[in-house]
Amino acid sequence: MPNNFQYGGQGVLEGVMMRGRHHYAVAVRRGPGNVVLQSRELNPYTEKHPILKRPFIRGIVALGEAFILGLKALEFSANQLMEAEGEGEITPREMAVAIILALGMTVLLFIALPLFIRQVIAGYLPGLFWKNLSEGLVRALILVGYILAVSMVKDIKRVFAYHGAEHQVIHTYEAGEELTVENARTKSPLHPRCGTSFLLFVVIISAILFSFLGEQTLSMRFLSRILLLPVIAGISYEIIKLAGKHQSFFLWKWLSWPGLLLQRLTTRRPDEEQLQVAIMALQEVLNQEREKEVQPLLSRAGPRASAGRIMSEVDSGV
């Protein structure tokens, strides 16, 4: 049976990345019958510095780690596909340029543009509260519009299908069922802990928080939106964690509904091969996690210990 750790991941180019407590794995399909698997050990900052595990702080750290890990997974998947087509790997310079452009586009679309539109419509709104709130509504519309636009791209549709595969396999694991295509196929491609839901919570909470700020100049508004982003991310992370753990409680189920609705745009029903790739990624993570649990037991038990017995001890706690 699954343990209490919340496994997760993301869809990448022709593959899936899965993350565990101590390891992550990326499975990428390079062609028919050819899946490349990469696994690496994680060194979370929260393990090195326990203070970072505290509520609200851990969300900020998790966001930064997820961003870096996601970039690594995307780079690996892109390199595998380029190699399969006889092209060279992505250079560090090309990756740096891509990151800068992506961050610049994010600031432009989700900070600068909503502030500009707020300035345009401010004269038609009755008070400061409604002016600030309108900025949040504009930001939400931009988010939905952006997702709709990118979902039209063929390659992105494939990534969204792998995104759905990741969710269905996670659901299968959390249900305590065997990780098979048959079991995963019956599960929903929507999940309350999805990054899409996280983004929506960021937009909603920012709209509420910014609506209570006092009168500011345009430059102060721009700066405050950037400086308060870690605070908003920390709050959003805690809500996502609670919603994912307590779906039986009506309040958390209700709070998850908007994010699940938005996920209908960022996920697709995967085919059998895509589910197989997602299963391979999660299975590799689980295998690595079990090995990490076994090593201390082997050390304590001594060289003549029975490996089969030690494995059964580990499995009984999972």
Q: What is the pLDDT of residue 266?
A: 94
Q: What is the pLDDT along the chain (318 residues), one digit of tens a residue?
A: 445 678 999 999 999 999 998 899 999 999 888 999 999 998 877 777 778 888 888 878 888 888 889 999 999 999 999 988 888 888 889 989 999 999 999 999 999 999 999 999 988 888 888 888 889 899 999 999 999 999 999 899 999 999 999 999 999 999 999 999 999 999 999 998 888 888 888 888 888 888 888 788 889 999 999 999 889 988 988 888 777 666 666 666 777 788 889 999 999 999 999 999 999 999 999 999 888 766 554 455 444 333 332 222 223 222
- What is the pTM assigned to this prediction? 0.83
Q: What is the CA radius of gyration of the chain?
A: 22
Angle between helices 128-150 and 195-210 (to 10 degrees): 160
- Domain layout of the chain by residue ranges: 8-316
DSSP-derived secondary structure letter, 43: -
Are 3 and 12 contacting, i.e. CB atoms less than 8 angstroms apart?
no
Q: What is the pLDDT of residue 1?
A: 43
pLDDT value at residue 297:
46
- Structure letter (DSSP) for residue 5: S
- In this prediction, residue 32 carries a pLDDT of 84
Rounded CA separation 195/36 (Å): 25
The letter for the amino acid at 47 is E
Residue 109: per-residue pLDDT = 93
Q: What's the maximum distance between 2 C-alpha atoms anywhere in the chain? A: 80
Structure tokens at 69: 């890990």
Q: What pLDDT, on a 0 to 100 scale, did the predictor assign at position 74?
A: 93
